[in-house]
Amino acid sequence: MSEQRSGTVLKEVPVGEAVGLRLAHDLTQIVPGQFKGRLFKKGHVITEADIPKLLDIGKEHIYIMELGEGELHEDHAAERMAAALQGEGTRLTEPHEGKVAIKSDLAVPGLAQIDETLVHSINEIGEIALATLKTHSVVMPGGQLAATRVIPLVVSEEKIKRVESLIDSYRELHGGGPLRVRPLRKLRAGLLTTGGEVYSGRIEDKFGPAVRRIVESYGSEVAEQRFAPDDRHIIVKEIHSLLGQGYDMILVTGGMSVDPDDRTPAAIKEAGADIVSYGTPMLPGSMLLMGYIDNVPIMGLPGCVMHDPYTSFNVLLPRILAGDTITRADIVHMGYGGLHGC
């Protein structure tokens, strides 16, 4: 028995007569609660030992495929899309059930750089799928940032050529690919914790461990932590002292609210910081301060950093580690999608 789909001929062959024939596509096995994955790969040559396994997954017939002119199998199509998209710091997986993953090839955490507009343009073509992380997402070593897939078993080659043409045009215009991973640099941070209650020892410091954990999760380190009371002049002095140590960035915690006795924002400004923004349109983390002193990033961190798993600090820190200079526009854009766990 054979079936015509566009120009492709699918020949149906009883399993018992399939020994020696090659599969036209991957076959998946599902064992509820235990396993879901590829049992046989496209191109696998059926043997006598395979027949019971095929029957176990309900396959009494298999299909041998003869592609029509101008048509591509799902695996080949997904491979071509992924190869066109592949950019700096990435690698491709082999096709699996018609999907090709694009993963980080870096040995360190990285920052995904993905053009959203191009992703939408590709998915508008139809019968193909490109799924990605959001741009500026952190990708750990070996982590996945995108995947390509074709919806039907066979797709017109013309659709894949349209994908490749869109990507070629993007590369010509921007001088690079639309999908890449930038490595996060290993920076050394100086940390200043303010607050009379911590400085005097009345309460235990909770900021230090939390900030260290976040910074270290991205491959950097807090090289030194100092403490200061709620005294603007002392805070300024300590900021200057940390800058003198040559640290790559300065992190200041405590005293970031609008209470009259919270002196940290004014002290950061008095220390000579060019303030990009005091406040972000993101929750949690709206009271974060972002600035620069002689090109050294300085951040005033709000109290939520101590207890919330994802704040504005987690958004901006990886970008700094990737080498970005944070601008006012970057802060403004944090509002869209900036509501987390509130």
Domains and CATH numbers, the chain: 2-66 (3.90.105), 71-183 (3.90.1150), 188-335 (3.40.980.10)
Q: What's residue 183's pLDDT?
A: 98
Q: Which amino acid is at 304?
A: C
DSSP 304: G
Please list, in sequence order, all residues whose beta carbon lies within 8 angstroms of the beta carbon of residue 317, skipping any fewer than 6 positions away. 214, 215, 218, 299
Question: Which of 319, 265, 104 has the alpha carbon at shortest distance from 333?
Answer: 319
Q: What's residue 68's pLDDT?
A: 81
Please list, in sequence order, all residues whose beta carbon lies within 8 angstroms of the beta carbon of residue 265, skipping any fewer than 6 positions away. 255, 256, 278, 289, 300
Q: What's residue 7's pLDDT?
A: 64
DSSP 161: H
CA distance 241 to 192: 10
b/e sequence 264-294, b meaning 16+ C-beta within 10 Å: bbebbbebebeebbbbbbbbbbbbbbbbbbe
Q: What is the dihedral of CA 292, 294, 296, 301, to 10 degrees?
A: -30
CB neighbour class for 73 (10 Å; exposed up to 12, middle 13-18, buried from 19) = buried
Q: What's residue 154's pLDDT?
A: 87
pLDDT digits over 231-247, tens only? 999 999 999 999 999 99
Rg (CA), the chain: 27
Pairing mode of beta strands 289-293, 8-14:
unpaired
Do 65 and 23 touch, CB atoms closer than 8 A? no
CB neighbour class for 38 (10 Å; exposed up to 12, middle 13-18, buried from 19) = middle
Residue 165, H or E segment: helix 157-174
pLDDT digits over 115-144, tens only? 999 999 999 999 999 999 999 999 999 999
pLDDT beneath 70: ranges in the chain = 1-10, 43, 65-66, 258-262, 342
Q: How many CB atoms lie within 10 A of CB 331?
A: 21
* CA distance from start to end of the chain: 59
DSSP 295: T
DSSP 96: B
What pTM was estimated for this model as a whole?
Answer: 0.85
- Distances in Å between the Cα of 149 and the Cα atoms of 40, 81, 130, 144, 342 are 18, 8, 7, 14, 35
Q: Which two tokens stand for residue 152?
A: 């039907």
Do 94 and 23 touch, CB atoms closer than 8 A? no
